[in-house]
Amino acid sequence: MNALAALAFALLGIHIGAHRVLPIGYAPTWSSDAQRIAFVTRGNLWDADADGTHLAKLTDDADEPAWSPNGRRIAFTRDGAVWTIRVDGLDERRLAAGAHPSWSPDGTRLAFDRDGEVITARWYGGDALVADVGEDPAYGPKGQLAVVQDGQIVVGGAVVGTGTEPAWSPSGKLAWVSDGTIFVDGHAVTRGEQPAWRPAARVRELLPDFKQRAPTDLTIAGGPGRWLLGFTSLVDNIGLGPSTFVGVRPPGQKRMIGTQLVRLANGKVRTYWNVAQFRYTNSPPHHHWHLMRFDSFTLRTLAGQTLVRDRKSGFCLADHWGTAPGKWPGRRPHFLGNCQQYHPEARRVVMGTTPGYTDRYPAFFHGQNVDVTNVPAGIYDLTHRVNASMQLHELRYDNDAASVRIRLTWQKGYPRVRVLRSCPATANC
């Protein structure tokens, strides 16, 4: 692959390689698997598939994004400080005053500049060190830092070129910008700015994509002393491949450790160890092994304060509902097991969902509810979120939450609920 085909860069839009152009945006940065690209548009941080589809806004007022090596966080700048955010738009964290963040190859540290110095620190804060003088740092694949000093690109104290915006390729090539032209190892390759190298090519993973639907069928049940708000939850797999989870119970342990198997485009399988836990549940009519915390439910104030969380004990994933939206030629179920029902002594369990199938649980069925006994009258967001820990590997994470806005009222000690609107793509309705 030549240098131009491997670069994304900004010039009246984002050029992805030699031919594809996203018409809006600047400051591109690739996900570690090269399937997604993040960028800034009108001052806000967005990401999309590499072809520009599945566009999603992650946060407002952001610049200079940098995607972490593990693919789960993006660093950016805002108001003179370096921040990070999860790729599902959650958990914004301010790190420190500074600009131009760059991740270390192992993803543990961020380099940034402040007041003419290059500083490195743990991404979550602490252990800040002055690494060099200069600005616009860029970590190389072996942990080396390129910095800009007085308009020159410096690596390990040696000047390698004149310009700004250094960017390392996975193989150790160095790009930079001088007078509106992108150079690679001293050779001009194209007009542009803000170069970003495509990550090293890997065999494509046929990952699942968990699409959370907004809660439906809201209803109140219970009696004085305990009132429950029930709902139907639905999670579609709209990805390229199945979600396959294998639980294995270590000797002497009550829980199983969960492994995810991901099919590859070459027909092989990649294994991700210790991504989940399984627990055997006795809760009529369920007596089988459950994948823990696959989906979660919260009732929150409009200011974002969580009032109530669900107490659901887990999920048995299977292909019982072929209702995922879209066309799925040849769709047929593959996961029809019972999650080792009536076998608490089991040492191994397999479960999952095939593309085109939906994990569906109706209201009140095995924990599909939240307790509203002590929730005062008001307007709230009921949010459903799949894969909240982001431990499960999937194509994208920004479609993992959906919500409804409700009005809760009390009349003579009895609660009533009314849905004001449904928000199928956002956690805050």
- Average pLDDT score over residue span 169-182: 94
CB atoms within 10 A of CB 294: 23
- Average pLDDT score over residue span 413-421: 96
pLDDT value at position 1? Answer: 52
Mean pLDDT of all residues belonging to the chain: 93
pLDDT value at position 201? Answer: 75
Which residues have CB under 8 Å from 387's CB, separation 6+? 210, 294, 394, 397, 400
Q: CATH homologous superfamily for 3-197?
A: TolB, C-terminal domain (2.120.10.30)
- pLDDT over 80 at 215, yes or no: yes
Domain coordinates of the chain in residue numbers?
3-197, 210-423
Comparing C-alpha atoms, which of 143, 312, 129 is closest to residue 235? 312
- Burial label, 374 (beta-carbon count in 10 A; 0-12, 13-18, 19+): exposed
Q: What is the tens place of the pLDDT at every residue in 51-64? A: 888 888 999 999 99
Q: What is the tens place of the pLDDT at every residue in 329-375? A: 889 999 999 999 999 999 999 999 999 999 999 998 878 999 999 99
Distance between CA atoms of residues 196 and 10, nearest Å = 9
pLDDT value at position 19? Answer: 67
Taking the CA atoms of residue 147, residue 153, residue 157 and residue 158 in that order, the dihedral angle to the nearest 10 degrees is 160
Distance between CA atoms of residues 251 and 213, nearest Å = 38
| % of the chain surpassing 70 pLDDT | 99
Would you call 208 helix, strand, or coil by DSSP?
coil
- My answer on whether omega of the bond before 285 falls inside 30° of 0, hence cis, is yes
Q: What is the tens place of the pLDDT at every residue in 79-122? A: 999 999 999 998 999 999 999 999 999 999 999 999 999 999 99
Distance between CA atoms of residues 299 and 311, nearest Å = 12
